[in-house]
């Protein structure tokens, strides 16, 4: 018996068959259908654990600066004055304070080293300083 190309294709299709939801579609093993889902159901790859967040960490002691009855709180290099609006200390505000020196050399602002990043890299602040000093670009 001579096996032709068509007969060989038919034998392979009958042997492999199709996936149960698509019977007789003639999927070949090289397509990956039968290799990845031999029983017709794709594997469940949801094996990750849900994100639980970071572990809490210990914070160090916070220094409170009190000078002549005024309370100062800090956030990095930023310093704020703490003001309460009532006697039972339930409402209040923090007022940014501080002095950040700069010099203007040939059209460029050079900040003193105690200036925080939000002051150093503020383009609007730099433009205002240059405008008021008469050196606008």
What does the domain layout of the chain look like in residue ranges? 5-36, 65-97, 102-132
19 pLDDT higher than 60? no
Beta carbons of 102 and 94 less than 8 angstroms apart:
no
- Categorize the per-residue pLDDT at 78 as very low, low, confident or very high, splitting at 50, 70 and 90: confident
Predicted structure pTM score: 0.39
Neighbours of 34 (CB within 10 A): 17
Rg of the chain over all Cα atoms, to the nearest angstrom: 36
Percentage of the chain exceeding pLDDT 70: 74
The CA-CA-CA angle for residues 6, 37, 28, to 5°, reads 15
**pLDDT of 133 higher than 60:** yes
**Mean pLDDT calculated for residue range 113-137:** 81
Report the length, in residues, of the chain.
137
């Amino acid at each position: 018996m001579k096996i032709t190309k068509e007969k060989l294709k038919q034998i392979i299709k009958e042997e492999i068959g199709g996936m149960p939801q698509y019977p007789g579609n003639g999927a070949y093993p090289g397509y990956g259908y039968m290799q990845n889902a031999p029983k017709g159901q794709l594997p469940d790859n949801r094996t990750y654990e849900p994100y639980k967040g970071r572990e809490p960490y210990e914070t160090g002691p916070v220094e409170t600066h009190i000078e002549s009855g005024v309370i100062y709180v800090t956030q990095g290099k930023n310093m704020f004055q703490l003001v309460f609006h009532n006697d039972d200390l339930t409402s209040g505000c923090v007022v940014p304070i501080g002095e950040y020196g700069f010099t203007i050399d040939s059209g460029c602002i050079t900040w003193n080293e105690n200036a925080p990043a939000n002051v150093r890299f503020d383009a609007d602040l730099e433009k205002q300083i240059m405008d008021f000093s008469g050196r606008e670009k």
